[in-house]
Amino acid sequence: MNKLIIIFLASIFTNNIALTYLLGMCPFISLSRNLKTSLGMGISVIVVVTLTAIINWPVYYFVLIPLHSTILTYIVFIIVIAGTVQLLEMIIEKFFPVLQAVLGIFLPLITVNCIVLAVSLFVILRNYSFLETVFFSFGSAVGWVVAITVVAAIKEKLALTGDIPKKMKGAGITMVIAGIISLSFLGFVGMLAV
């Protein structure tokens, strides 16, 4: 139990997937415009990342390894991810029209988001057990959301003062903010080890 909590906290703070492993940067830069969009994206990311990691773990250990076809890992994983996203889209459309308004536009984007595939791959590379997988994937997704919300909040404030060099606007300034935040997250290093 202790180890699970450590994995969970480490994946949020010391090994934050956005600020340490630099993953999921494309939506990070384009969607951190305001707090509301980044929260909408964040919720979808948490659901999809956790769900796909939970599905990919048994697929890898109970299907791919017994069949000696680990060379197909990537292909199988992305099919699972794309399938899950498609299914989730249909379920939300049918049963939760309220959620559809919030998450509808973000779900298709997630298929090509690298953190989904990255989390599933990290789980395999680090030989996590099933429970560890659940905690790690949930924690990583939460860590990503923490990072994007902080950046979005700072950007919202910054837009008000707005004294940014013209060519630095958009992607440039987002990276400076992300850099400062990741510098401060370095302060967590050494507190927990995965």
Partner 1 sequence: MNLKKLKYTKGFRTMVNGFWKDNPVFSMVLGICSSLAVSNKVENALAMGAGVTFVLIFSGIFISFLRSVIPNRVRIIVYMIVIAVFVIIVEDVLEAQFPKIAEALGPYVALIITNCIIMGRAEAFAVKNNILHTVIDGFACGLGYSYSLIIIACVREVLAFGTLLNIHVAPPGWHNWVVMAMAPGAFFLFSVYIWITRTLAKVESDKE
Report the interface residues with partner 1, using CB under 8 A.
Answer: 19-26, 29-30, 33, 71, 74-75, 78-79, 82, 108, 111-114, 116-118, 121-122, 125, 159, 165-176, 178-180, 182-183, 186
Beta carbons of 104 and 85 less than 8 angstroms apart: no
- In angstroms, what is the minimal distance from the CB of 29 to partner 1? 6
CB nearer to partner 1: give 9 or 31. Answer: 31
- In angstroms, what is the minimal distance from the CB of 124 to partner 1? 9
CB nearer to partner 1: give 5 or 70. Answer: 70
CB nearer to partner 1: give 5 or 22. Answer: 22
- In angstroms, what is the minimal distance from the CB of 134 to partner 1? 20
Phi and psi based region of residue 23 (left: phi greater than 0; alpha: psi -120 to 50; beta: remaining) = beta
- In angstroms, what is the minimal distance from the CB of 177 to partner 1? 9
Rounded Cα gap, residues 108 and 49, in angstroms: 13
CB nearer to partner 1: give 98 or 121. Answer: 121
